[in-house]
Amino acid sequence: MASTVIKNWDNKTWLSSKDYIESFNKFLTKKVKLNPKSKILDIGCGRGKIIGNLSSQLMLKNKPLGIDLTHHQDKDKRIKFKRVDALSFLLKNKKKFDLILIKQTIHLLNFNKIKKLLNLSKKSLSQNGKILIFSLDTDNNNIPTFKLMKTKLLKSLKRDKKIIKLITKLYPYKKSRFIFRVKILREKYLQMIQKRYISTLLPMTKSQIRKGIDEIKYRYKRNIKFRDKLICLTL
C-alpha cells in the first residue's frame, strides 16, 4: 500500500482479539449481503484474521484474497495472501468481488493514488458488490494518547477529513460507525506504543516514545477503558 508499513497494528492487541473480530464481522455482514459463493478482497489485510474468520463464518467456497506489502509469519491460512501493491494488483486483476474491504489503510496513500485505487476497485466489483472503507472517527476519537501523539493524531485526522471529502466528490456513499469497547491493561498498551502500533507513532524517536510512555503512566490508571470508533463508508 505504501512505503511505510505497520507491522504491529493487529498483532496481539484488541484488534486481533476474538471479541473484536466477531463484533467487526457482525457489523460488516449487516452492510453487505454475503453468502458461501461470495468473493472477497481485503486491501491492506495485515495477518488476514478478520477475513479468515469471515470465511469460516460464511463457509466460503472461494478463499478470500488478502493483499499487503508486509510479510507476516502468522498470516491466516484460511485466506489467499499476496504480498503486492494494491494498485499493481488491481491494474492486472480480472476477477469480480462482492466485497472489497479497505480497513484503516487508505490514509497511507496520497490523494492521486486514492482516486486510482477507488476507480480500479469499482471496476473490480460484481454487479451488487460493495466497497467498505474504514478509518478512525475524525470527530470524536477516544484513543489514549500522550501530548505529542495527540498532536500528530489530530493532524492525521484532519487529513482523513480531506480524504472523506474527496470520496464524497467522487462517489455516493452511506456513512455509519463501528464502535468497540476496549478494556486493556496499561502495561499492555505501553507495549503497543513501544511497538508503534499506529502510524502516528512511526516517525517518533526512541526518546519521544519513552517520554510518551511516562506520560501515559502518569495520566492513565492500571486498567484503561475507551471506545475504539471507526467511520465506515459504503460505496
Give me the torsion for CA of 188, 133, 95, 81, rounded to 10°. Answer: -10
Q: How confident is the model at residue 199 (pLDDT cuts 50, 70, 90)?
A: confident
Residue 234's pLDDT band (boundaries 50, 70, 90)? Answer: very high
Residue 32 predicted with pLDDT over 50: yes
Question: Does residue 158 sit within a domain?
Answer: yes
Residues 6+ apart with CB under 8 A from 12: none
- pTM higher than 0.95 for the full model? no
Region 149-164: what's the mean pLDDT?
94
What integer pLDDT is reported at residue 2 of this predicted model? 39
Q: Model confidence over 71-111: pLDDT tens digits?
A: 777 889 999 999 999 999 999 999 999 999 999 899 889 99
H-type helices in the chain, by residue range?
A: 18-31, 49-58, 86-92, 111-123, 147-170, 186-194, 206-219
Distance between CA atoms of residues 204 and 37, nearest Å: 45
**Sequence-ordered list of residues with C-beta below 8 angstroms from that of 44, at least 6 positions apart, any chain:** 1, 67, 68, 86, 102, 103, 104, 105, 108
| Chain-centroid distance, C-alpha 52 | 15
Query: Mean pLDDT across the stretch 28-34?
Result: 95
Residue 9: its pLDDT value, please? Answer: 47
Confidence of residue 212 (pLDDT cuts 50, 70, 90): very high
**Three-state secondary-structure class, residue 190:** helix
In a domain, 216, yes or no: yes
Domain count, the chain: 1
d(CA 124, CA 100) in angstroms, rounded, equals 9
Beta partners for residue 174, in sequence order: 234
Indicate whether 195 pLDDT > 60: yes
Q: Among 40, 51, 59, 109, which residue's Cα sits nearest to residue 75?
A: 51
Average pLDDT over residues 225-231: 95
> Buried b / exposed e across 12-22, counting CB within 10 Å, b at 16+?
ebbbbbeebbe
Please write the tens of the pLDDT for every residue from 46-70: 889 999 999 999 999 999 999 998 8
Task: Determine the average pLDDT of the residues in 197-220.
Answer: 94
Q: How far apart are CA 158 and CA 138, in angstroms?
A: 7
Position 90 in a domain: yes
In a domain, 27, yes or no: yes
230 domain residue, yes or no: yes
Please indicate, yes or no, if residue 3 is contained in any of the structural domains. Answer: no
> pLDDT category, 11, cuts 50, 70, 90?
low
Residue 63 belongs to domain spanning: 14-234
Q: What is the mean pLDDT of the chain?
A: 91
* 1, part of any domain: no
Reported confidence tier of residue 209, pLDDT bands at 50, 70, 90: very high
Q: What is the CATH number of the domain that holds 168?
A: 3.40.50.150
pLDDT at 231 over 90: yes
Asked whether residue 97 is assigned to any structural domain, the reply reads yes
Query: 44 to each of 68, 82, 133, 150, how far by Cα in Å?
Result: 5, 10, 11, 24
pLDDT for the residue 3: 38
**What's the pLDDT band for 12 if we cut at 50, 70, 90?**
low
**pLDDT above 90 as % of the chain:** 82
Whole-number pLDDT of residue 1 = 39
Residue 76 and residue 33: Cα distance in Å, rounded?
23
